[in-house]
Structure 1
Amino acid sequence: MKQKVCRLGILLLIILLIPCGITYLLSGKGSKSSGTKNDSIRIRVEENGVDKEYSLDTYIMMAMAADIPVTYELETLKAQATILRTYVYVVAKKNETNSLKADDIGLQYKALNAAKVSWGEENADQYEKKLLKAIEDTNNMVVTYNDDLIIPLFHPVSIGMTRSSKQAIGEDIAYLASVESKGDVQSTDYMKISSIPKETVVEQLKKVYPDCNVSKDSLEDDIDIEKRDEDGYIKSIQIGDESITGDEFANFFELNSTNFYIETYEDSLRFICKGKGHGLGLSQYGANFMALQGYKYDEILEYYFTQTQVVEYIQ
């Protein structure tokens, strides 16, 4: 188990390069589902240069405001609240403290005042109440595997199937198996095509890799995809004389994921990208599709995280 979680920690370090919501490097054995009480955890965040301390529930609301569309179904938001709570408990157990800094956790978050402005005055109160209900309705609920808290990865949109840990890091983690996520094909982020002038591609690459030896005239030959996994996610890519990870390349050109193909189009390169995020764990869009079909939040979580249970975290 320890070796598997260490491997997962390596994966988390890699996927920092693309948006995924969870960015904390974990190692060591999973945490048993007992110990830390919901209202005892305090989290310090920085807002406009000022440190402020919040309860776990308020922090979860701030993280949800940053990480998932508040227009999603209530059951989807409940699933997300449970994921975030599970993750914070894992971090608290690892650090052996109930007093955390936002940097310890690594999740994106948005100050509630800023979130209300982005929602608009006419929606602010309604959306705030919706997030609060999602948190209250799942009070102290977490996701476990064999009575251990899981590391609950999530991403915005899958490629129609979520990615398995075996494909991503070469290690089987039971609750990170590949599952079908049909609804994702309806998302506008299921497939995105970006076109960048060849000259711009060369200029940008040479800024970061000055010795990469690429040119506009031979660019389609200078960029060579070395290795993909079976789901199409790029592991490594050759840039002239440089070999870099697919994550580095995707991050550099702000691609939605590492599941992309490259083609020449006139004087540009086109990047045809599938999915958004790393593809592991819960697909938020797919979860919302399930919620629209009438599934409850615990059913959604137990579907995406195979062989898991949604249970109360008891002190």
Structure 2
Amino acid sequence: MRQHFTGILLFAICAALIPLIAINPAFSPPQNLQIQPSQNSSSSAPPDLTQDNNEIPANTIDHAQAEPSDTEPQNQDSGTAPVMEESGSFSILDESSGKIFSVSSKDFIRGALAAEMPPTFHPEALKAQAVAAHTYALCVQALQQDSPDPSLKGADLSADPQNWKSYTTEKIFRQRYGNMADAYWKAITDAADQVSDYIMVYENHPIVAAYHSMNTGMTEDAANVWTGNAPYLTPVESRGDALAPDFQVQQDFPAPEVKKALEALSPEVSLGDNPQDWIILGQRSPSGYILSVTIGGQEFPAKDLRTLLGLRSTSFLLNYANDTFSFTVQGYGHGVGLSQYGADWYARQGMDFSEILSHYYPTAKLGIVKEIS
């Protein structure tokens, strides 16, 4: 991808995205970067929102600000958005078939939005999600071109359109929604097309556009999830999340299953006879997320336990009774960056997409991308 900010710069922005850790119950960390799946529901209802778009390892954020852009600087205080160039297409490895296909940037944004957010969400929330997904995909594409992952077979990204993972097609979308397909596809395409020229930037660099389904009412600091600091990935209020469906759920696990899972974490984990002592919760972040857990005398990041058990987030209370571990979990996802349910709520209060993005990515600004002719 030829860009004014160059492959080298974008590699600096996204380099630490290796390895990506997919947060889902069937955890299997890939060796390199992939855009993350949305969790889908039955064919009679809109797909659920993605729980995370990514698990970004630590130094991504430091690298994202490590080098000056070779883009001719724009004075953002004057209201002029930085202008960057993109190739105008993405190559995608279909995880089901193993084949690589290419889509235009416009079609990718449509398909990514369709896979990531229900079409019934407010149009301004859809636009905000489209910009975030586009921004993230450009970073992924640049990373693959500078440091290719052999498992992607030369593609920029991987996806599973048939299963609504990261990207889906209009045909598959229409199969799901039946009689509502025309109206719903129009909602997706209208939103995606209106913002297809925008990405989020910080100091003329495309940002690490983390997003998630819902949080505790306050987004999480990226430094608590991956380490590194970014002023656009710091905690902000997210007022509508507590009103989201399934904001708080209980997840129960039989003690024998938990024991087997915990012992697989590390050979140094030694569990005693009292299950109540197996998992000791550590400190919470100001946003309400557990930062660490002690398991069998060994300390682990709380996200490791989340991954292991398929918990919806690391904001939880834990109770043990009747040979069962019960987790009362709030939110869904890592909690960093844009909240999808929060974006929908703010849109319904009158915010437009740019205001939503500015709220969830403080200090970042809209940038303009133009396709290379």
Is the partner of 2:241 in helix, strand or coil?
Answer: helix
Q: Distance in 1 between matches of 2:157 and 2:21?
A: 19
Q: Distance in 2 between matches of 1:68 and 1:272?
A: 25
CA contact 2:250–2:328 (8 Å) conserved in 1: yes
Is the partner of 1:122 in helix, strand or coil?
Answer: helix
Segments of structure 1 that go 5 or more residues without pairing to the other structure are none
Give me the CA root mean square deviation. 3.1
1:102 counterpart (153, 157, 161)? 157
Could you tell me which residue of structure 2 aligns to residue 113 of structure 1?
171
> What displacement does 1:139 show?
2.6
Segments of structure 2 that go 5 or more residues without pairing to the other structure are 1-7, 25-50, 72-81, 147-153, 160-164
Could you tell me which residue of structure 2 aligns to residue 78 of structure 1?
127
CA contact 1:11–1:169 (8 Å) conserved in 2: no
Could you tell me which residue of structure 2 aligns to residue 247 of structure 1?
303
TM-aligned CA distance change 1:6 to 1:163, over 3 Å: farther
2:239 counterpart (182, 189, 202)? 182
Q: Distance in 1 between matches of 2:127 and 2:18?
A: 24
Q: Does 1:234 align with 2:294?
A: no
TM-aligned CA distance change 1:6 to 1:140, over 3 Å: closer
Q: Distance in 2 between matches of 1:55 and 1:86?
A: 15
> What displacement does 1:23 show?
5.1
Is the partner of 2:179 in helix, strand or coil?
Answer: coil
Q: Distance in 1 between matches of 2:102 and 2:264?
A: 40
> What displacement does 1:156 show?
0.3
Q: Distance in 1 between matches of 2:288 and 2:21?
A: 16
CA contact 2:338–2:360 (8 Å) conserved in 1: yes
Q: Does 1:46 align with 2:94?
A: yes
Could you tell me which amino acid in structure 2 is paired with residue 116 of structure 1? Answer: R
Is the partner of 1:88 in helix, strand or coil?
Answer: helix
Q: TM-score, normalised by structure 2?
A: 0.72
Could you tell me which amino acid in structure 1 is paired with residue 101 of structure 2? Answer: K
Q: Distance in 2 between matches of 1:7 and 1:95?
A: 12
Show CA shifts across 1:278-304 (max 9, x none): 111110000000111121111111111
Could you tell me which amino acid in structure 1 is paired with residue 157 of structure 2? Answer: A
Structure 1 range deviating more: 201-210 or 56-65: 201-210
Q: Does 1:282 align with 2:329?
A: no
> What displacement does 1:211 show?
6.0
TM-aligned CA distance change 1:112 to 1:88, over 3 Å: same
CA contact 1:74–1:130 (8 Å) conserved in 2: yes
> What displacement does 1:170 show?
4.8
Could you tell me which residue of structure 1 aligns to residue 221 of structure 2?
164
TM-aligned CA distance change 1:224 to 1:14, over 3 Å: farther
Percent pairwise identity? 25
Question: Comparing both structures, which one devotes a greater share of its residues to helix?
Answer: 1
Is the partner of 1:121 in helix, strand or coil?
Answer: helix
Q: Distance in 2 between matches of 1:265 and 1:313?
A: 55
Q: Distance in 1 between matches of 2:184 and 2:320?
A: 44
> What displacement does 1:210 show?
6.4
Could you tell me which residue of structure 1 aligns to residue 107 of structure 2?
58
CA contact 1:168–1:229 (8 Å) conserved in 2: no
1:146 counterpart (197, 203, 219)? 203
CA contact 1:43–1:56 (8 Å) conserved in 2: no
Q: Distance in 1 between matches of 2:13 and 2:144?
A: 19
2:278 counterpart (201, 205, 222)? 222
Could you tell me which amino acid in structure 2 is paired with residue 66 of structure 1? Answer: A
> What displacement does 1:229 show?
2.9
Show CA shifts across 1:74-118 (max 9, x none): 111111111112222333444568x952139xx822344333333
CA contact 2:338–2:357 (8 Å) conserved in 1: yes
Could you tell me which amino acid in structure 2 is paired with residue 190 of structure 1? Answer: F
Q: How many residues align structurally?
A: 306
Could you tell me which amino acid in structure 2 is paired with residue 16 of structure 1? Answer: A
Q: TM-score, normalised by structure 1?
A: 0.84
> What displacement does 1:10 show?
5.5
1:20 counterpart (52, 55, 58)? 52
Is the partner of 2:300 in helix, strand or coil?
Answer: strand
Structure 1 range deviating more: 77-86 or 10-19: 10-19
CA contact 2:219–2:335 (8 Å) conserved in 1: yes
Show CA shifts across 1:255-281 (max 9, x none): 111111211233311101111111111
Show CA shifts across 1:177-207 (max 9, x none): 2111111010123211112222332234345
